[in-house]
A and B are shown apart, each in its own frame.
Chain A
Amino acid sequence: MSAVNPVARLIAALLLALVLVLTIDPVSAGVALALELLLFPFAGLRWGEFWRRTAIVWIAAPLTGLTIVLYGQRSGRMHLEWFLVQISDGSIWLGLATFLRVLAIGLPAVVLFARVDPTDFGDGLAQVLRLPARFVLGAFAGIRLVGLFADDRRALELARRARGVADRGRLRRLAGLAFALFVLSIRRGSALATAMEARGFGSGMRRTWARPSPFGLREWGVIGLGALLAGIATAVAVVTGSWNLIVG
C-alpha cells in the first residue's frame, strides 16, 4: 500500500466515508466493515502496527455508540429513563449503527493513511489533483513548522521561569505562553517564507516538479476497490430495506 499514490488512497477513503455518512443504519456500515476486515491483511501493515495505529478508533467507536444509546432520539419501546438518559429501541439501533459507522469509516482511513510521506502526498496533490503549488507547499512548510513548535514551547516555558514571571496563576501563564508562541510561530513562518522566496518560490515562473507522482492501474484499482465496497454496502442496505437517507 505504501507504494500507492497517496491521492488514490485519499479518494478511496473519501468514497467509503461519503456513502456511509449518507445513511444511518447498521447494515450498510456492518457490510462495509466486514469487507474491510477481509482486505486489511493485504494492506501491508503488520498486526502490531495495525492495532497501535487504529487503537484510537477502537476506543472512540464504542464511546460514540454508547453516548447515542444513552441520549439518542427515542422511539419504540422504552427500556430506561433517568434524567436525560433515555434508552429505547430506537436509540439502541442508532447507537449500534453509529458504532459500526465510526469503525467502517475510521479504520480504512487510518490504514490507508498509515505511512503516508508528506512529500509524496504534496507531490500528488499538486501533480495529480493539480492543486496550486502555493497552497500545497505552503501547507507542507506549515507541517514542518509544527515540529519546531514543541521545541519553542519548551524553550519559552524555561525562559519565562528565568525572567521571574512563571509564578503567576496557571491561566494567565498559559495565555501569555500561547501569545508568545503565536508571535514566535509567525516570525518563524516569515523567516521560512523569506528562505523560500530567496530560492525563487512565488516568482511567477512555471514550476516543475522534481519527483514524479505516478498514477496508473494500481491507483485506479485502489479507487475501484473503494467504490466497489461502497457499492456493495449500499446495495445490501437497500435490498434489506434498512437504507435511510439522512440528507435530502
Chain B
Amino acid sequence: MPPVPAASVSARGWGWRHAGRRAWAIRDLDLTIEPGERVLLLGPSGSGKSTLLHALAGVLGDADSGEDEGELSIAGRAGLVLQDPESQAVMARVGDDVAFGCENLGVPRDEIWRRVPAALEAVGLGVALTHPTAELSGGQKQRLALAGALAMRPGLLLLDEPTANLDPAGVVEVRDAVARALQSTGATAVIVEHRVEVWLGVATRMIVLGVDGRLLADGAPDDVLAREGAALAAAGVWVPGHEPAPRLDPPPRPGPTLLTAEDLAVARVPDRIVRSGLDLALAEGEVLAITGPNGSGKSTLALTLGGLLPPTAGRVLASPELAGGAGPEPIRWRSRDLLPRLGSVFQAPEHQFLATTVRDELAVGPRALRGAGTLPDAAVAAIVDPLLDRLGLAALADAHPFTLSGGQKRRLSVGTALATAPRVLLLDEPTFGQDSLTWAALVELLDAERRNGRGVLAVTHDERFLEALSARRFAL
C-alpha cells in the first residue's frame, strides 16, 4: 500500500452519554494524537473505549443515540475495523467487498480495481476476487474487513478489539497484517484491545481510560507499563508481568464419572458431521477443556454433550447419579430436566437471553424449574442476589441484558446456568472479552463450583485459564 497523509485527533473536554443511561460512558477527555502515532487504547470493560473509537469513526449516531459535550475533531479520514467478524462483510464476493468502501467514496472504477488487489495483498489474503466472503475463516474475515478499510486509504485506522473473537492463530494473522499495513501506509492508528502483549511491538503510545471514562495514563508503552503497570492491572487491564494469578488450592481429586461420550459423532445440521469417533468422560470435581482450532467442532461437541443436539452416531450417557431418574440419554430429557443437571453456556450470549432485566434473566431458570408462578419472590431473590454479587453485576441488575458490554453479557450467561445449580457446567469460551479482574473472578467462581461437586467442561483457547484451573485437556 502506498503512504497516506496521516491524520491527527484532538479532543477537548469531550464526553458522550448513551441515550437512556444516567452515567456518562466517557467524560472530560483531553487528548491529542499526532499524525503517525499508533495508540493502544486500554481500559477495564465499561470504560468507554469502544465509545471513543466509534466516535472517531463517526458511527456513534445522532442525537437519538445519545448526547455529547465538548469537542472531538479529526483532521483526515478514518477507517474502522469492528470486533465481530460475522457482521462486517457487506458483499457476497471478496473483491466486491473490498471495493465497497471505495465505491462509497466515489473512487473511479479503474482506481478501485488497482486498490483492491493491493489491499488484499497488504493483509496477506491470497484468495480469488470472486471467492465467497461467507466461506472465509474468522481470521480471514477480519483481514478482509481490514483490507476493505485500507482500500479507502484512511489517514486514521481504528481497530475495535479486532482479535477478540479469534483463535490464537487468527490473532497473530490479524496483528501481523495490521503491523504490515501501518508500516507501508504510515497511517495513524488507534487500537482497542484487552490483551496488551499482542500489540506491544506495534503500538508507539499507550492511553488508559479508567472505569469512570476518564484518562488514567498516557505515554510510551514501556513507560506506562513500568510506571502504571501494577495500577493498570489492579484496574483490570491485561498487563504483561502483572497477569492475574488466582491462588487456588490444589485441584480436588475427581469423583465419580458424571457424563460419558462413546464413539460419538457430532453435527450442527443433521448429516453434516463435523467430528466423529469421540470418546470422553467428565468426572465430578474436574475441569475438562476442549481445545482445538476454529472450525474443529468444539462448540458442536459441547452442545451435543449438553443434551441439546442429538448425536449423529454413538452415544452421550449420563451416569445414574447425574440422571436422577430422567433416563440415561440427555437428548431425551425434557428441557426443564436439563436445568439441575446440564447447564450449557453458549458462545454467543445473546442467543440465550430471554428477559428484559439482568435480575429477571437470572430468575428464568429457577422459575422454570419450579413451574411458573410457584416460586415466591423472596426465594428468587435468595438465589439471584448472591449470584449478582459473585458475577459483579449487582449495579446492573435492572439493565437490559442486550445493553451490557461483551464481557458483562458473557458473565451473565454463565450466571443464568449457575442459577439452577446444575451438576455439570458446559461453557463455550467463558473468558472471551473479560478484563483481568473479571477473568480472575470467573476462574475463582468455577474453581468453587468444581469443589462443590460439579463437573465443568469448557471450550476454550485461553491457555492461562487452563493452567489456573489445572484443567484436563481434550484436543480436537
Contact = CB atoms under 8 A, between A and B. Distances in A.
Contacts of B57: 198
Contact of B90 (A154, A163, A199): A199
Interface in B353-371: 354, 364-365, 368-369
B238 interface: no
The secondary structure that dominates the A interface is: helix
Given A207-B103, A209-B109, A163 B365 contact: yes
B336 A167 contact: yes
Interface residues of A, number: 48
A191 B103 contact: no
Interface in A90-143: 118-119, 137, 140-141
B82 A195 contact: yes
B109 A159 contact: no
Interface string B45-56: 000000000100
Interface in B78-93: 79-80, 82, 84, 86-88, 90-93
A80 B80 CA distance: 71
Question: Residue among A191, A202, A209, A210 with the most chain B CB within 10 A?
Answer: A210
Interface string A213-230: 000000000000000000
Interface in A152-201: 152, 154-156, 158-167, 176, 180, 183-184, 187-188, 191-192, 194-201
A161 B339 CA distance: 9
A203 B104 contact: yes
Contact of B149 (A137, A199, A212): A199
A205 B102 contact: no
Interface stretch (B21-29, B274-282, B342-350, B389-397): B342-350
Contacts of B100: 196, 199, 201, 210
Given A141-B90, A164-B336, A165-B335, A187 B350 contact: yes
B364 A159 contact: no
Interface stretch (B205-213, B255-263, B302-310, B320-328): B302-310
Contacts of A212: 109
B128 interface: no
Select the residue from A137, A165, A180, A188 with max chain B CB neighbours within 10 A: A165
A79 interface: no
A210 B352 contact: no
A147 B134 contact: yes
B104 A199 contact: yes
Interface residues of B, number: 63
B64 to A, nearest CB: 13
Given A163-B364, A167-B336, A195 B90 contact: yes
B148 interface: yes
Contacts of A211: 96
Contacts of A137: 90
Contacts of A192: 87, 90
Given A198-B80, A201-B104, A210-B99, A191 B352 contact: no
B351 A119 contact: no
B152 A200 contact: yes
A158 B101 contact: no
Q: Which of B80, B87, B148, B402 has the most CB of A within 10 A?
A: B87
A206 to B, nearest CB: 5
B338 A161 contact: yes
A155 B347 CA distance: 10
A240 interface: no
A156 B93 contact: no
Contacts of B149: 198-199
Contacts of A245: none
Nearest to B344: A162
Contacts of B87: 188, 191-192, 195
Contacts of A206: 106
Given A195-B82, A198-B57, A199-B148, A210 B112 contact: yes
A187 B402 contact: yes
B247 to A, nearest CB: 33
A179 B354 CA distance: 10
A104 to B, nearest CB: 32
A205 B106 contact: yes
Interface string B146-164: 0011001000000000000
Contacts of A195: 82, 87-88, 90, 145
A158 B368 CA distance: 16
A140 B103 CA distance: 15
Given A162-B308, A191-B84, A196 B368 contact: no
Interface string B3-20: 000000000000000000
Interface centre among A140, A166, A200, A201 (most CB of B within 10 A): A200
A144 interface: yes
A233 B58 CA distance: 57
B96 A161 contact: no
B105 interface: yes
B90 A210 contact: no
Contacts of A159: 346, 351-352
| A-B CB proximity, top 5 nearest | A166-B335, A200-B104, A199-B101, A164-B368, A210-B99
5 contacts: A159-B346, A195-B145, A207-B103, A208-B102, A208-B106
Interface of B: 54, 57-59, 79-80, 82, 84, 86-88, 90-93, 96, 99-109, 112-113, 116, 134, 145, 148-149, 152, 268-269, 303, 306-309, 334-336, 338-339, 343-344, 346, 348, 350-352, 354, 364-365, 368-369, 402, 416-417, 420
Interface of A: 118-119, 137, 140-141, 144, 147-148, 152, 154-156, 158-167, 176, 180, 183-184, 187-188, 191-192, 194-203, 205-212
Given A163-B335, A201-B104, 14 more contacts: A161-B308, A162-B338, A162-B343, A162-B352, A164-B335, A164-B365, A195-B87, A197-B58, A198-B57, A198-B59, A199-B101, A200-B152, A208-B102, A208-B109
